[in-house]
Structure 1
Amino acid sequence: MENFKSFTVEYFVSKALSLSATPNNQYLSVYHDLLDFVQSIEKIDRKSFVVVAHIVYGWMPTILDYKFLREDDYSFYEENIKIGNCSVEFLSLIKEKINNSIVGGSKFLHFMNPEMYAIWDSKVYKALFDKKGRGYNTNNIENYIQYNLTLRDFSQKPEMVMIQNILKEKKYIDKEITNMRALETVLFYSIN
Structure 2
Amino acid sequence: MPRRPTPEIICTRLQKAVDEVVMPHIPLEDRYIRTYPEMLSDFAQATKDGWTAERVVECIKLVYTWMPTRGELRIDMNVAEQIATELNIGIDTDRLIKLASELAKNSMVSGSKFLHFYDPARFPITDSWLQELSGKPDPYYRVDYYLDYKAGVHLVDEPHALRAQEWAERAFGYEVHRTRAIEAVAFYLIKAGWHHDTTALA
Q: TM-score range by the shorter chain?
A: 0.7 to 0.9
Larger proportion of helix: 2
Whether 1:78 and 2:83 are equivalent positions in the alignment is: no
Map 1:12-161; keep pairs closer than 5 Å: 12-17=17-22, 22-41=27-46, 42-62=49-69, 64-69=73-78, 72-73=81-82, 74-79=84-89, 82-83=90-91, 85=93, 87=94, 90-126=96-132, 128=133, 133=136, 135-136=138-139, 139-154=141-156, 157-161=158-162
**Aligned partners of 1:38 and 1:71: how far apart in 2?**
15
The sequence identity of aligned pairs, in percent, is 23
- CA distance in structure 1 between the aligned counterparts of 2:24 and 2:145, rounded to whole angstroms: 25
Root mean square deviation of aligned Cα: 2.7
The answer (yes or no) to whether the contact 1:84–1:113 under 8 Å persists in 2 is no
Counterpart of 2:99, as a letter, is L
Question: Runs of 5+ in structure 2 lacking a partner?
Answer: 193-202
Q: How many pairs are equivalent?
A: 181
Question: What's the counterpart of residue 187 of structure 2?
Answer: 188
How far has the Cα of 1:95 moved from its partner?
1.3
Structure-2 separation of matches of 1:174 and 1:106: 24
Alignment CA distance shift 1:18-1:93 (3 Å): same
Matched, 1:10 2:15: yes
Contact 1:15 1:187 in 2 (8 A): no
User: Residue deviations 1:140-183, cap 9 Å, x none?
Assistant: 211100001111232x62432222112223xx222221111101
Structure 2 CA distance for aligned equivalents of residues 15 and 102 of structure 1:
28
- Unaligned 5+ runs, structure 1: none
Counterpart secondary structure, 1:5 = helix
- Aligned-partner SS, 1:72: helix
Q: Which residue of 1 aligns with 2:197?
A: none
Q: Is the 8 A contact 1:123 1:188 kept in 2?
A: yes
Q: Is the contact between residue 167 and residue 173 of structure 1 (CA under 8 Å) also seen in structure 2? A: yes
User: Are the counterparts in 1 of residues 18 and 182 from structure 2 also a CA contact under 8 Å?
Assistant: no
| Superposition deviation, residue 52 in structure 1 | 0.7
Contact 2:168–2:175 (CA under 8 A) maintained in structure 1: no
TM-score normalised by L of structure 1: 0.80
**SS of the residue aligned with 2:81?**
coil
CA distance in 1, matches of 2:26, 2:32: 16
**Residues 65 and 99 in structure 1, CA contact (< 8 A), matched pair in contact too:** yes
Local SS of the residue matching 1:149 = helix
For residues 80 and 130 of structure 2, what CA distance do their matches in structure 1 show? 35
TM-score, normalisation: structure 2: 0.77
Partners of 1:123 and 1:20 lie apart in 2 by 24
1:84/1:113 CA distance change after superposition, 3 Å = farther
